[in-house]
Amino acid sequence: MLEQNTPGHQPIVPVKLDLDSTICFACDKELVCFTKCCRSNEIILTPADIIRLKHHFNLPSDEFLRRYTIPGTLQPTELPIPVIKLEEERDNACPFLGDDGCTVYEDRPVACRYYPVAAGLFHNQDIEDNETFFAMINEPICHGHGLGTDITVRQWRKDQGVEPYDEINAPWVDIVLKRKSMGPFVNIDDKTLKMFFMSSYDLDAFRRFVFFSPFLSIYEVDEDRAEKMKTDDYALFDFAMDWLKTTLYGEGLITIREQVAPADTIEVD
Protein backbone atom coordinates (compact mmCIF):
# COMPACT_ATOMS: atom_id res chain seq x y z
CA MET A 1 0.00 0.00 0.00
CA LEU A 2 1.19 3.51 -0.83
CA GLU A 3 1.49 6.06 1.93
CA GLN A 4 2.57 9.68 2.09
CA ASN A 5 3.75 11.35 5.28
CA THR A 6 2.55 14.88 5.83
CA PRO A 7 4.24 17.11 8.43
CA GLY A 8 2.12 17.18 11.56
CA HIS A 9 -0.39 14.63 10.30
CA GLN A 10 -0.92 10.90 10.21
CA PRO A 11 0.08 9.07 7.00
CA ILE A 12 -2.34 9.63 4.14
CA VAL A 13 -3.53 6.58 2.21
CA PRO A 14 -3.96 7.62 -1.45
CA VAL A 15 -6.70 6.32 -3.75
CA LYS A 16 -5.31 4.39 -6.72
CA LEU A 17 -6.29 5.80 -10.13
CA ASP A 18 -5.73 5.21 -13.83
CA LEU A 19 -5.65 7.63 -16.78
CA ASP A 20 -9.42 7.56 -17.18
CA SER A 21 -10.22 8.08 -13.49
CA THR A 22 -11.78 11.45 -12.68
CA ILE A 23 -10.61 13.95 -10.10
CA CYS A 24 -12.03 17.25 -8.90
CA PHE A 25 -9.44 19.76 -7.80
CA ALA A 26 -8.54 23.42 -8.20
CA CYS A 27 -5.84 25.66 -6.73
CA ASP A 28 -6.62 29.31 -6.12
CA LYS A 29 -4.76 32.22 -4.51
CA GLU A 30 -7.79 32.93 -2.36
CA LEU A 31 -7.54 29.58 -0.56
CA VAL A 32 -6.05 29.71 2.93
CA CYS A 33 -3.74 26.85 2.00
CA PHE A 34 -2.23 28.65 -1.02
CA THR A 35 1.54 27.83 -1.27
CA LYS A 36 1.51 25.67 1.89
CA CYS A 37 2.48 22.74 -0.34
CA CYS A 38 5.58 24.79 -1.25
CA ARG A 39 6.95 24.50 2.29
CA SER A 40 8.49 21.62 4.23
CA ASN A 41 8.11 19.22 1.31
CA GLU A 42 10.86 17.07 -0.17
CA ILE A 43 10.73 17.74 -3.91
CA ILE A 44 12.85 15.35 -5.95
CA LEU A 45 14.05 16.77 -9.25
CA THR A 46 14.08 14.66 -12.40
CA PRO A 47 16.51 15.13 -15.31
CA ALA A 48 13.87 17.04 -17.29
CA ASP A 49 13.39 19.38 -14.31
CA ILE A 50 17.11 20.16 -14.18
CA ILE A 51 17.28 20.96 -17.89
CA ARG A 52 14.27 23.29 -17.77
CA LEU A 53 15.33 25.05 -14.58
CA LYS A 54 18.99 25.52 -15.50
CA HIS A 55 17.84 27.11 -18.77
CA HIS A 56 15.36 29.26 -16.83
CA PHE A 57 18.18 30.70 -14.73
CA ASN A 58 20.76 30.55 -17.54
CA LEU A 59 23.10 28.54 -15.32
CA PRO A 60 25.37 25.58 -16.03
CA SER A 61 24.03 22.40 -14.48
CA ASP A 62 26.71 22.16 -11.78
CA GLU A 63 26.05 25.72 -10.61
CA PHE A 64 22.28 25.17 -10.56
CA LEU A 65 22.74 21.98 -8.52
CA ARG A 66 25.06 23.76 -6.09
CA ARG A 67 22.72 26.71 -5.51
CA TYR A 68 19.34 25.06 -5.38
CA THR A 69 19.67 21.40 -4.43
CA ILE A 70 20.98 19.04 -1.78
CA PRO A 71 21.99 15.39 -2.28
CA GLY A 72 19.35 12.74 -1.77
CA THR A 73 18.94 9.02 -2.36
CA LEU A 74 16.15 7.34 -4.27
CA GLN A 75 15.09 4.48 -2.01
CA PRO A 76 15.38 1.55 -2.27
CA THR A 77 17.66 1.85 -5.32
CA GLU A 78 20.55 3.69 -3.58
CA LEU A 79 20.73 5.90 -6.68
CA PRO A 80 21.67 9.55 -6.00
CA ILE A 81 19.13 12.27 -6.75
CA PRO A 82 18.96 16.06 -6.33
CA VAL A 83 16.39 17.40 -3.88
CA ILE A 84 15.30 21.05 -3.78
CA LYS A 85 17.14 22.91 -1.02
CA LEU A 86 14.54 24.52 1.24
CA GLU A 87 15.20 27.90 2.87
CA GLU A 88 15.08 27.51 6.65
CA GLU A 89 14.96 31.28 7.21
CA ARG A 90 11.69 31.37 5.25
CA ASP A 91 9.91 28.61 7.16
CA ASN A 92 11.41 25.87 4.95
CA ALA A 93 10.07 27.45 1.78
CA CYS A 94 11.00 26.34 -1.71
CA PRO A 95 13.63 28.77 -3.08
CA PHE A 96 11.38 29.38 -6.08
CA LEU A 97 8.44 30.55 -3.94
CA GLY A 98 7.72 34.27 -4.20
CA ASP A 99 5.15 36.56 -2.60
CA ASP A 100 2.60 35.81 -5.32
CA GLY A 101 3.33 32.11 -5.74
CA CYS A 102 5.80 30.13 -7.85
CA THR A 103 8.37 32.30 -9.60
CA VAL A 104 9.32 29.52 -12.05
CA TYR A 105 5.78 28.41 -12.78
CA GLU A 106 6.31 27.87 -16.52
CA ASP A 107 9.31 25.67 -15.73
CA ARG A 108 8.13 24.21 -12.40
CA PRO A 109 9.17 20.63 -11.55
CA VAL A 110 7.08 17.71 -12.72
CA ALA A 111 6.17 16.77 -9.12
CA CYS A 112 4.56 20.19 -8.72
CA ARG A 113 2.74 19.82 -12.04
CA TYR A 114 1.26 16.48 -11.02
CA TYR A 115 0.14 17.58 -7.54
CA PRO A 116 -2.23 16.50 -6.01
CA VAL A 117 -1.88 13.48 -8.29
CA ALA A 118 1.05 11.19 -7.60
CA ALA A 119 2.43 9.02 -10.41
CA GLY A 120 4.11 5.65 -10.09
CA LEU A 121 5.58 2.99 -12.33
CA PHE A 122 6.01 -0.73 -11.88
CA HIS A 123 8.69 -2.61 -13.82
CA ASN A 124 7.56 -6.00 -15.05
CA GLN A 125 10.40 -8.09 -16.45
CA ASP A 126 7.93 -10.29 -18.33
CA ILE A 127 6.52 -7.51 -20.49
CA GLU A 128 8.15 -4.80 -22.58
CA ASP A 129 6.33 -1.79 -21.12
CA ASN A 130 6.24 -0.51 -17.54
CA GLU A 131 2.90 -0.36 -15.76
CA THR A 132 1.82 3.19 -14.92
CA PHE A 133 -0.50 3.98 -12.03
CA PHE A 134 -1.63 7.13 -10.22
CA ALA A 135 -2.92 8.13 -6.82
CA MET A 136 -4.82 11.12 -5.46
CA ILE A 137 -3.12 12.61 -2.41
CA ASN A 138 -5.76 14.25 -0.25
CA GLU A 139 -3.82 16.03 2.49
CA PRO A 140 -5.60 17.88 5.31
CA ILE A 141 -3.56 21.04 4.62
CA CYS A 142 -4.99 21.29 1.08
CA HIS A 143 -8.47 22.76 0.54
CA GLY A 144 -8.57 22.49 -3.25
CA HIS A 145 -10.26 19.10 -3.36
CA GLY A 146 -13.83 19.13 -4.64
CA LEU A 147 -13.37 22.51 -6.32
CA GLY A 148 -13.68 23.09 -10.06
CA THR A 149 -15.08 20.49 -12.42
CA ASP A 150 -14.47 16.77 -12.84
CA ILE A 151 -11.51 15.99 -15.07
CA THR A 152 -9.72 12.79 -16.01
CA VAL A 153 -6.16 12.13 -14.93
CA ARG A 154 -5.29 12.01 -18.62
CA GLN A 155 -6.60 15.54 -19.16
CA TRP A 156 -5.01 16.79 -15.93
CA ARG A 157 -1.59 15.62 -17.16
CA LYS A 158 -2.15 17.42 -20.46
CA ASP A 159 -3.41 20.64 -18.86
CA GLN A 160 -0.50 20.76 -16.41
CA GLY A 161 2.13 20.18 -19.09
CA VAL A 162 3.26 16.86 -17.63
CA GLU A 163 3.45 14.86 -20.85
CA PRO A 164 6.66 16.42 -22.29
CA TYR A 165 8.43 15.86 -18.96
CA ASP A 166 7.38 12.23 -18.77
CA GLU A 167 8.46 11.67 -22.37
CA ILE A 168 11.93 13.11 -21.72
CA ASN A 169 12.33 11.25 -18.42
CA ALA A 170 11.15 7.89 -19.81
CA PRO A 171 14.60 6.33 -20.46
CA TRP A 172 15.84 7.54 -17.06
CA VAL A 173 12.80 6.05 -15.34
CA ASP A 174 13.47 2.78 -17.14
CA ILE A 175 17.04 2.75 -15.78
CA VAL A 176 15.79 3.43 -12.24
CA LEU A 177 13.14 0.72 -12.39
CA LYS A 178 15.59 -1.86 -13.69
CA ARG A 179 17.93 -1.02 -10.84
CA LYS A 180 15.03 -1.36 -8.39
CA SER A 181 14.11 -4.77 -9.80
CA MET A 182 17.63 -6.04 -9.01
CA GLY A 183 16.89 -5.84 -5.31
CA PRO A 184 18.92 -4.48 -2.39
CA PHE A 185 21.58 -7.20 -2.48
CA VAL A 186 23.15 -6.01 -5.75
CA ASN A 187 25.72 -3.42 -4.68
CA ILE A 188 26.68 -0.42 -6.82
CA ASP A 189 30.14 1.05 -6.38
CA ASP A 190 30.75 4.77 -5.82
CA LYS A 191 32.17 5.30 -9.30
CA THR A 192 29.01 3.93 -10.90
CA LEU A 193 26.82 6.10 -8.68
CA LYS A 194 28.81 9.18 -9.71
CA MET A 195 28.49 8.15 -13.35
CA PHE A 196 24.71 7.83 -12.95
CA PHE A 197 24.41 11.25 -11.29
CA MET A 198 26.55 13.04 -13.86
CA SER A 199 24.75 11.46 -16.82
CA SER A 200 21.31 12.13 -15.36
CA TYR A 201 21.66 15.61 -13.88
CA ASP A 202 25.01 17.31 -14.47
CA LEU A 203 24.83 17.42 -18.25
CA ASP A 204 27.47 20.12 -18.64
CA ALA A 205 29.94 17.86 -16.84
CA PHE A 206 28.82 14.94 -19.03
CA ARG A 207 29.39 17.08 -22.14
CA ARG A 208 32.98 17.76 -21.02
CA PHE A 209 33.35 14.05 -20.29
CA VAL A 210 32.33 13.18 -23.85
CA PHE A 211 34.26 15.84 -25.75
CA PHE A 212 37.36 16.40 -23.60
CA SER A 213 38.32 12.86 -22.64
CA PRO A 214 39.19 9.74 -24.69
CA PHE A 215 35.44 8.97 -24.81
CA LEU A 216 35.01 9.44 -28.58
CA SER A 217 38.04 7.29 -29.30
CA ILE A 218 36.42 4.45 -27.35
CA TYR A 219 32.76 4.76 -28.38
CA GLU A 220 31.38 5.16 -31.89
CA VAL A 221 29.10 8.20 -32.09
CA ASP A 222 27.42 9.36 -35.28
CA GLU A 223 28.85 12.72 -36.38
CA ASP A 224 25.46 14.39 -36.69
CA ARG A 225 24.45 13.15 -33.26
CA ALA A 226 27.72 14.32 -31.73
CA GLU A 227 27.31 17.77 -33.30
CA LYS A 228 23.82 18.18 -31.78
CA MET A 229 25.11 17.06 -28.39
CA LYS A 230 27.52 20.00 -28.29
CA THR A 231 24.72 22.54 -27.84
CA ASP A 232 21.43 20.65 -27.33
CA ASP A 233 20.92 19.40 -23.77
CA TYR A 234 18.02 17.18 -24.79
CA ALA A 235 20.07 15.45 -27.48
CA LEU A 236 22.91 15.08 -24.98
CA PHE A 237 20.59 13.62 -22.34
CA ASP A 238 19.17 11.13 -24.83
CA PHE A 239 22.71 9.97 -25.61
CA ALA A 240 23.61 9.86 -21.90
CA MET A 241 20.73 7.49 -21.22
CA ASP A 242 21.79 5.23 -24.11
CA TRP A 243 25.30 5.21 -22.66
CA LEU A 244 24.06 4.37 -19.16
CA LYS A 245 21.90 1.53 -20.46
CA THR A 246 24.88 0.20 -22.40
CA THR A 247 27.26 0.53 -19.48
CA LEU A 248 24.99 -0.60 -16.65
CA TYR A 249 22.82 -3.20 -18.36
CA GLY A 250 24.76 -4.20 -21.48
CA GLU A 251 21.96 -3.14 -23.84
CA GLY A 252 24.43 -2.31 -26.61
CA LEU A 253 22.89 1.02 -27.59
CA ILE A 254 26.36 2.58 -27.99
CA THR A 255 29.01 0.69 -29.97
CA ILE A 256 32.50 0.27 -28.53
CA ARG A 257 35.46 0.56 -30.89
CA GLU A 258 36.90 -2.92 -30.45
CA GLN A 259 40.47 -2.01 -31.32
CA VAL A 260 40.84 0.46 -28.42
CA ALA A 261 38.38 -0.81 -25.84
CA PRO A 262 40.78 -3.18 -24.06
CA ALA A 263 43.53 -0.61 -23.72
CA ASP A 264 41.86 2.72 -22.98
CA THR A 265 39.94 3.72 -19.88
CA ILE A 266 38.06 6.89 -19.05
CA GLU A 267 37.50 8.39 -15.64
CA VAL A 268 34.42 10.04 -14.20
CA ASP A 269 35.20 13.28 -12.39
Express each pLDDT in 14-50 by its tens digit.
678 999 999 999 998 999 999 999 999 999 999 999 9
State pLDDT tens for residues 55-85. 999 999 999 999 999 999 998 889 999 999 9
Beta strand spans in the chain (E): 15-17, 22-25, 69-74, 79-84, 97-98, 101-102, 117-122, 131-136, 145-152, 219-220, 255-256
Dihedral, 177, 182, 185, 191 alpha carbons, nearest 10: -70
User: For residue 267, what pLDDT is reported?
Assistant: 59
- Angle formed by the axes of helices 162-181 and 233-249, nearest 10°: 10
- Low-confidence stretches of the chain (pLDDT < 70) are 1-14, 121-131, 184-185, 259-269
Q: What pLDDT was estimated at residue 1?
A: 29
Q: What is the pLDDT of residue 14?
A: 63
Q: How many of the other CB atoms lie within 10 Å of CB of 237?
A: 24
Burial 4-16 (b: 16+ CB within 10 A, else e): eebeeeeebebee
The confidence score (pLDDT) of residue 8 equals 37
pLDDT for the residue 185 = 67
Q: Can you give the pTM of this predicted structure?
A: 0.87
